[in-house]
Structures are given as structure tokens and as C-alpha cells.
Amino acid sequence: MKGNQYDFIIVGAGSAGCVLANRLTEDTQRKVLLLETGGSDKSIFIQMPTALSIPMNTKKFAWQFETEPEPYLDNRRMHCPRGKVLGGSSSINGMVYVRGHARDFDEWESKGAEGWNYQQVLPYFKKAETWAFGGDRYRGGDGPLGVNNGNNMQNPLYKAFINAGQDAGYLPTKDYNGAQQEGFGSMHMTVKNGRRWSTANAYLRPAMGRPNLTVVTHALVHKVLLDGHTATGVRYEQSGKIHEVKATEEVILSAGSIGSPHLLQLSGIGNREVLEKAGIEVKHELPGVGENLQDHLEFYFQFRCEQPVSLNGKLDWWNKLKIGVRWILKKDGLGATNHFESCGFIRSKAGVEWPDMQYHFLPAAMRYDGKEAFDGDGFQLHVGHNKPKSRGTVHVHSADPKEAPRIQFNYLQHEADREGFRACVRLTREIINQPAMDEYRGEEIQPGTAVDSDEKIDAFVRQTVESAYHPSCTCKMGIDEHAVVDPQTRVHGIKNLRVVDSSIFPTIPNGNLNAPTIMVAERAADLIRGKETLQSLEAPVVMDEQWQVRQRSGEAKRQQS
């Protein structure tokens, strides 16, 4: 059955789709349809920051994808949740706000994404945010996205970790999203007035009162409709009924790094061999669709804490109830933070130009399901090597849109990635063994001091490493034969079709992906509307001038082992 006609159809109300829905409907003459497979985000488990582990593991709010057996991780199948709710993955993520290093975006341009270097994307990072401490040359002061430091590191363990980094010879950084990413400092999160500040809260909700925006939830898009090599609309299913809607200007896929390539493939756009194997008619051969898959891995170090200051004492049901009640009444306290309030960005070895390792510090020791890891006090560091060279795929499995695609990351396929994780183990131990942690540091629970050789470290990583939930790059932007979209975000060879989400990143940045995904959508909105893009900003970036010969930039305070 036929539905209405719109100027723009956006598929996916996630980190990018909500931004586009807001910005495109600022033009009152444009009629926009936003389609989302999931439903409402009005759940306490989504809105309360401390409950972050719940929506990610709930089928109602997230696609619970699983990878094929990963050959370099002892054939483990890895969990790959993606948002299926208004706000998408910004409604289920850890709310950590990291833009990435300036050189990550210069790298994008060097890969063929002209116009996406740091000076040209910085204005859009600023446009998107309101930084709690005010706008400046690097930070935004009046954007939709609220960004702060949670409870401002009230727990003493946060600052002890930052000081330990300096003891080890690394620099402090006042703002890793500003001039200097490298170093140790406070971590930022997308929380406003004590609530998760997803793109649904920041962008979509203010736009939903506009008469030119239509939001349809519980809508599973089956395919993009094509007339030859022109996108004309989409077919979707809602409550068992099939609908077709037309776009007079453009169809925009913002279904994420798993959903967008899968939908292109379902529409007959992609690698001929992959499509024919799935029984799908090839409408347009585009070999890069679903290739170039990248992600961040991480594992966590766990230590006993010698002082009764960790959050482990708050994990029983009674304390959780008190935290929840306080949050409901006041929107503050331990319920109003993701608890990752300090962090570090370092280089894994000399000869690495900008940081390729990231730390999230947590003043508790717990499992990924939010339960206590062991009796007593503890703390942990999530650490990962963030510039992987291994590449994976997202391949359609059948013509049935309800059947999940095959996801294969090939994690740790490349020796450089395995080397990076060895550095994660050794450099982390050195940092935690600095004087600043002496009064807190107890026994190393995980990995355990016996895990010390390359072979033992490699085995530990294979068995315990987890996804940081940052899949990206499967519809990469560029101009080479494997690029899926051009620097204007238009699908190569298909008129009136764009992809705007983290799938179009040419390479994965050093950091969490929500912030750069929002930036991409902000800039793409101007490109789609035919507006002049914001003027580039000349903003100095602090780099180690001796990066080729040293691994850290601070004073040489570290203890000799």
C-alpha cells in the first residue's frame, strides 16, 4: 500500500538520524519522515546514567547482534549490541564524550574524504555541544548536546589515577577534547541535568513539535526503492503491514555501521558475489559495501583497593535503591554519572605520532553486567589499543530483512594489534605501580601478575578482551574503488541516496564514536541542504615534537624497573 510523499526520508533515529531530523526540519518548506525500528526511549533505565549496562543488554532497546566465531579470539562469538530505540546507540551507550584526536580527521582527508580535516570539522563539534565550563576556541557554548564531568571526580581514586599518569612521565591534560588529547585528566560525558543526554533528548525531542517532521516507530525498513540508479523511496513494515513511501529529494540511511551496509545490500547495492550468494538481485555493484569494518577492543585491569573508598560498597540492593530514589527525586548523586570520570590517552610506543591507547578509569571492580567482581573494595581500568589495522566485514545473509547479517571483525588478525595490547598490559602496570596509587593499590586480580610474557598476555587478551561497542567504517567515505560514499556523503553511482552515520568513517578515531558521529551528521545536514559549510577554524594542536624517538612527553619521573 502506498503512503505519503516526503522531501527527505531518514532511516534510523540514532546518533546521526536524530541530528538530521532536527537540522533538516529547520527549513519549514522541507517535509521529513524519520523511520525507527525501535520504540520510545522513555525508560528510567535509559534516562538514568548509572543504569547504562541495562539498555545495552535489553532486546527491547538494542539489536543483540553476535559475530561469527572470531578466529583470532579462540573462535569466540562477540556481543555486538546496536541501539533499537529513539536515540539509537546514544540511548544505550556509556555516554562517554570523546571527539578523537585532531590527526584522526586529517587522516580521513588523506584517505580521500576531502573537506573532513580537523580544521573543517572542529566548527561542527562546537556547534553540537554546550560544554559545562563554557565555550572557547575549541568547545561549544550553546549547542544541543550537554557535556560535563558527571560528579566532578569526588571519589579520590579518580585524581589518584591522573596523578599516577604524571608520576609515570605522562602529561596532564586539562581538556582532551581541546588542544591536547594526549595525557591524563577528567573524562567527559553526555549528561545534562542528571539525565542521559542522547540525541533523542538533545535533537529529536525539540523538533518533534514541528509540523514538517513525521516520526514513525516500530518500522522495519526492508529496502531502498530504486528506479534504475535513482533512489525514490523505501519499503518498510509496521505491525505486519507493508508500506511504501516516496522521497522527492533524497533517502538518507542512518542505520549505523551494521544496519546501513545491510540495508544497501538488501536493496541490491554492494559486492556482486555477496549479493548473489544471498539470493539478491544486483542493482548496482559497489564492492566496498560492508567491507573495512573496524572496532575498538578493550579489557579491564582489576585491583583490590586498600582503602574503603571504592563504589563496591554501593553495589548491594539497598544502596542501589537509595541511589535510584535520589536520582528520581533530585537527578543527582551517583545515579547521575556513568562513573567514568577520569581517563588517559597515550601512545603505545615511540614512533606513534598521536595517541593510540585509551583508559577509562572506574572506582569499582565489577563485571560487564554491573555485578560485583569480588568481595571487598576494588577499582579497574578499561584499556584498549584504539588504532587497529585488522579489518572485517558485514555481509547480508539472505534476502529476508528480518535475518541478521553475518558480522566478522577479524579482531587481532594483524600483528600490530596484538603488539598494541601487549603494550596495554605492560604500560598499565607501570602506571598503577606509581607512588600516587600506593595507598590504594592492592592485589592485581586481573590479569594477575603471572601474566607477564608475550605468550601469556596474548592468551589472556584472546580469552577476555571485549568489544568497546564502536563498529564503524563499513560504508567508507572517499573516492577510491572501495569507497561507498563521496565526501558529500552521496552513495557512489546512485542518485538521491546518502549514508550519514559512523559507517562512513574512513578510519576509526582514537576514542568513543558518539561525538564524531554527531559531528558527521551536523556537517552532512549543511551539505544536504546546500548550505555553505561552516568556516574552518585554525586551532593549535599540542603534539609531542619528539614522538619519533620517545613514547611519553612528560618529565621523566617514572620509577626504573
SS3 495: strand
Q: Looking at residues 76-85, what average pLDDT do you find?
A: 98
Q: Exposed (0-12), middle (13-18) or buried (19+): which is 538, by Cβ within 10 Å?
A: exposed
* Confidence at 25, pLDDT banded by 50, 70, 90: very high
The DSSP bridge partners found for residue 300 are 382
At CA 21, angle to CA 19 and CA 24, rounded to 5? 100
Q: Is the pLDDT of residue 561 over 70?
A: no
Cell of residue 350, nine digits: 615511540
Q: Is the pLDDT of residue 110 over 80?
A: yes
Q: Is the pLDDT of residue 1 over 60?
A: no
Interatomic CA distance for residues 491 and 485, integer angstroms: 4
Pick from 512, 513, 495: which is nearest to 504 by CA? 513
User: What distances in angstroms separate CA 278 from CA 291, 478, 555, one per listed residue?
Assistant: 16, 27, 57
Interatomic CA distance for residues 304 and 444, integer angstroms: 7
Q: Which residues are annotated as a binding site?
A: 85, 93-96, 221
Check residue 514 and give its pLDDT.
98
Check residue 316 and give its pLDDT.
85
Q: What is the pLDDT of residues 393-442, one digit of tens each?
A: 999 999 999 999 999 999 999 999 999 999 999 999 999 999 999 999 99
Pick from 494, 490, 405: which is nearest to 224 by CA? 494
Q: What is the pLDDT of residues 238-295, one digit of tens each?
A: 999 999 999 999 999 999 999 999 999 999 999 999 999 999 999 999 999 999 999 9
Scan for cell 578499561, then name that residue. 382
Interatomic CA distance for residues 85 and 63, integer angstroms: 9
8 Å CB contact between 487 and 115: yes
Q: What is the pLDDT of residues 509-545, one digit of tens each?
A: 999 999 999 999 999 999 999 999 999 999 999 999 9
User: What distances in angstroms separate CA 241 from CA 53, 253, 370, 447, one per listed residue?
Assistant: 34, 21, 39, 52
Number of helices (H) and strands (E), helices first, in the chain? 14, 24
N-terminal to C-terminal alpha carbon distance within the chain: 72
Q: What is the pLDDT of residues 494-507, one digit of tens each?
A: 999 999 999 999 99
Q: What is the pLDDT of residues 197-249, one digit of tens each?
A: 999 999 999 999 999 999 999 999 999 999 999 999 999 999 999 999 999 99
Interatomic CA distance for residues 406 and 69, integer angstroms: 10
| Residues identified as active-site | 470
Check residue 291 and give its pLDDT.
98
Check residue 372 and give its pLDDT.
62
Q: What is the pLDDT of residues 192-206, one digit of tens each?
A: 999 999 999 999 999
3-class secondary structure per residue, 485-525: ECCCCEECCCECEEECCHHHCCCCCCCCCHHHHHHHHHHHH
At CA 394, angle to CA 493 and CA 460, rounded to 5? 145
H/E element holding 491?
A: none
Q: Looking at residues 304-326, what average pLDDT do you find?
A: 92
Residue 279 CB coordination number (10 Å): 11
Check residue 292 and give its pLDDT.
98
Percent of the chain whose pLDDT exceeds 70: 97
Q: Looking at residues 38-64, what average pLDDT do you find?
A: 96
H/E element holding 235?
A: strand 230-238
Question: At residue 155, what are phi and psi to the nearest 5 degrees?
Answer: -70, 130
Distance of CA 18 to the CA centre of its chain: 15
Q: Is the pLDDT of residue 553 over 90?
A: no
SS3 504: helix
SS3 378: strand
Percent of the chain whose pLDDT exceeds 90: 94
Q: Which are the contacts of 45, defined by CB distance < 8 A and separation ≥ 6?
A: 51, 54, 55, 58, 61
Q: Is the pLDDT of residue 314 over 90?
A: no
Amino acid at 366: M
Q: Is the pLDDT of residue 332 over 50?
A: yes
User: Using the 8-state DSSP alphabet, how is residue 141 labeled?
Assistant: B
Check residue 557 and give its pLDDT.
41
Q: Exposed (0-12), middle (13-18) or buried (19+): which is 321, by Cβ within 10 Å?
A: exposed
Give yes or no for a cis peptide into 405 (omega within 30° of 0).
no
Amino acid at 107: E
Interatomic CA distance for residues 428 and 309, integer angstroms: 21
Instruction: Give the mean pLDDT of the chain.
Output: 96
Cell of residue 59, nine digits: 532486546
User: What distances in angstroms separate CA 54 from CA 45, 48, 94, 519, one per listed residue?
Assistant: 6, 10, 11, 27
Could you tell me whether strands 497-499 and 241-253 are parallel, antiparallel, or unpaired per DSSP bridges? parallel
Q: Is the pLDDT of residue 3 over 80?
A: no
H/E element holding 223?
A: strand 220-227
Q: Is the dihedral of CA 311, 436, 342, 54 positive or negative?
A: negative
pTM across the whole model: 0.97
Q: How many residues does this entry show for the chain? A: 561
Interatomic CA distance for residues 392 and 409, integer angstroms: 4
CA torsion 507→513→514→520, rounded to 10°?
Answer: -10
Q: Which residues are annotated as a binding site for FAD?
A: 85, 93-96, 221
* Confidence at 368, pLDDT banded by 50, 70, 90: low
* Confidence at 171, pLDDT banded by 50, 70, 90: very high
Mark 430-462 as b/e (b = at least 16 C-beta within 10 Å): bbbbbebbeebbeebbbbeeebeeeeebbebbb
Q: Is the pLDDT of residue 349 over 70?
A: yes
Question: Where are the extended beta strands (E) located within 419-518?
Answer: 441-446, 466-467, 497-499
Domains and CATH numbers, the chain: 2-529 (3.50.50.60)
